[in-house]
A and B are shown apart, each in its own frame.
Chain A
Amino acid sequence: GQNIDQPTEMTATEGAIVQINCTYQTSGFNGLFWYQQHAGEAPTFLSYNVLDGLEEKGRFSSFLSRSKGYSYLLLKELQMKDSASYLCAVRDNVYGQNFVFGPGTRLSVLP
Chain B
Amino acid sequence: EADIYQTPRYLVIGTGKKITLECSQTMGHDKMYWYQQDPGMELHLIHYSYGVNSTEKGDLSSESTVSRIRTEHFPLTLESARPSHTSQYLCASSEPTTGQETQYFGPGTRLLVL
* A interface residues (Cβ-Cβ under 8 A, vs B): 31, 33, 41-45, 48, 50, 85, 87, 91, 96-99, 101-104, 106
Contact = CB atoms under 8 A, between A and B. Distances in A.
Nearest 9 pairs of A and B residues by beta carbon:
A42-B105, A103-B42, A101-B43, A45-B102, A43-B105, A101-B42, A42-B108, A48-B100, A42-B107
Given A98-B48, A101-B43, A44 B101 contact: no
A99 B45 contact: yes
A48 B103 CA distance: 11
Nearest to B100: A48
A74 B105 CA distance: 23
A49 to B, nearest CB: 10
B106 A42 contact: yes
A33 B107 contact: no
B45 A98 contact: yes
Nearest to B103: A99
Interface string B89-110: 0100000100111111111100
Contact of A31 (B40, B100, B104, B105): B100
